[in-house]
């Protein structure tokens, strides 16, 4: 396993890629309304990334993924493929954006409520966001990845939710998925020690029901086995001398 420590020049490029990914989420927000298809959201994001940002949508053709963004609705956990289906009031949807600019990746996702949130929808969206924040708070030199995993798992499970184990955060840079793997469960004091100049994502997937998932026949869409709601948020982070910088922070967002 080799974790790449980014140089100041590479960090500057990661900042640019991260900001672009965040700006795609800012752009798409007003379109996430009842009646819109996920294909339409994909097309809007694709055109914005390619024509306005002069960047590359990383998911497109990544191991054969057919679209430019991932859209995961309700009991879909991650890697949902945009299609002609319309969003409806009360749905929750994760939109996951990864762009490549000047060779470097920025990767971020967030949840949206479609129309008025349902009680359960609001709860899982809020708790999964708080799980991401719990993880981010621990990112600093000397912390261990197990500290982050345990904090997220503990936050979710003490509130009666479960953590998906099959998918994790990841190092990121010139590669979309670099070392290390960033688990959203585990034991404090174990695993890789964080060092200044590391860049990686945290992207917990939290279920209302149990943690079991399966992949649909399209070979991509991950869903909860019990069809309970699932939610996920993701940021790309840089380890700094004093803590961390959120490279994919959106306008007006505070951690």
Which positions lie near ligand MF3, rule CB under 6 A? 59, 62-63, 65, 70, 79, 96, 98, 107, 203, 220, 234
Give the relative orientation of helices 145-158 and 119-137 as an angle to the nearest 10 degrees: 150
Task: Provide, rounded to whole angstroms, the least separation between the CB of residue 108 and Co ion.
Answer: 7
Task: Provide, rounded to whole angstroms, the least separation between the CB of residue 140 and ligand MF3.
Answer: 22
Task: Provide, rounded to whole angstroms, the least separation between the CB of residue 242 and ligand MF3.
Answer: 26
Provide CB contacts within 8 A for 161, sequence distance 6+.
124, 127, 128, 206, 207, 208
Residue 27 CB-density burial (10 A; 0-12 exposed, 13-18 middle, 19+ buried) = middle
Q: What does 79 interact with, of Co ion, ligand MF3, none (CB < 5 to 8 A by kind)?
A: ligand MF3
d(CA 112, CA 69): 15
* Sole window of 25-33, 156-164, 201-209, 241-249 interacting with Co ion (rule: CB under 5 A): 201-209
Q: Which of 10, 107, 150, 178 binds Co ion (CB under 5 A)?
A: 107
Q: Which of 10, 42, 96, 134 binds Co ion (CB under 5 A)?
A: 96
Reference 163, options 192, 124, 136, 108; nearest CA is 124
Q: Which is nearer to ligand MF3, 109 or 117 (CB)?
A: 109
Give yes or no for residue 147 binding Co ion (CB under 5 A).
Answer: no
């Amino acid at each position: 396993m080799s974790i790449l420590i980014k140089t100041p020049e590479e960090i500057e490029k990661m900042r640019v890629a991260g900001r672009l990914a965040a700006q795609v989420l800012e752009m798409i927000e007003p379109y996430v309304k009842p009646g819109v298809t996920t294909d339409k959201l994909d097309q809007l994001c694709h055109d914005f990334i390619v024509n306005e940002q002069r960047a590359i949508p990383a998911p497109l053709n990544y191991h054969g993924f057919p679209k430019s963004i991932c859209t995961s609705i309700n009991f879909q956990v991650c890697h949902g493929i945009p299609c002609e289906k319309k969003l409806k009031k009360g749905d929750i949807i994760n939109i996951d954006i990864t762009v490549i600019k000047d060779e470097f990746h920025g990767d971020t996702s967030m949840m949206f409520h479609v129309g008025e949130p349902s009680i359960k929808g609001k709860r899982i969206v809020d708790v999964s966001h708080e799980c991401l924040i719990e993880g981010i708070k621990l990112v600093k030199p000397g912390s261990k990845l197990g500290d982050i995993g345990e904090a997220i798992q503990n936050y979710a499970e003490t509130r009666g939710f479960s953590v998906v184990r099959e998918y994790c955060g990841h190092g990121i840079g010139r590669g979309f998925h670099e070392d290390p793997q960033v688990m959203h469960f585990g034991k404090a004091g174990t695993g890789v020690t964080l060092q200044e100049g590391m860049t990686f994502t945290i992207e917990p997937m939290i279920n209302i029901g149990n943690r079991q998932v399966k992949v649909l026949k399209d070979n991509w869409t991950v869903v909860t086995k019990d069809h309970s709601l699932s939610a996920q948020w993701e940021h790309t982070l840089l380890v700094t001398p004093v803590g961390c910088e959120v490279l994919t922070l959106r306008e007006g967002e505070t951690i």
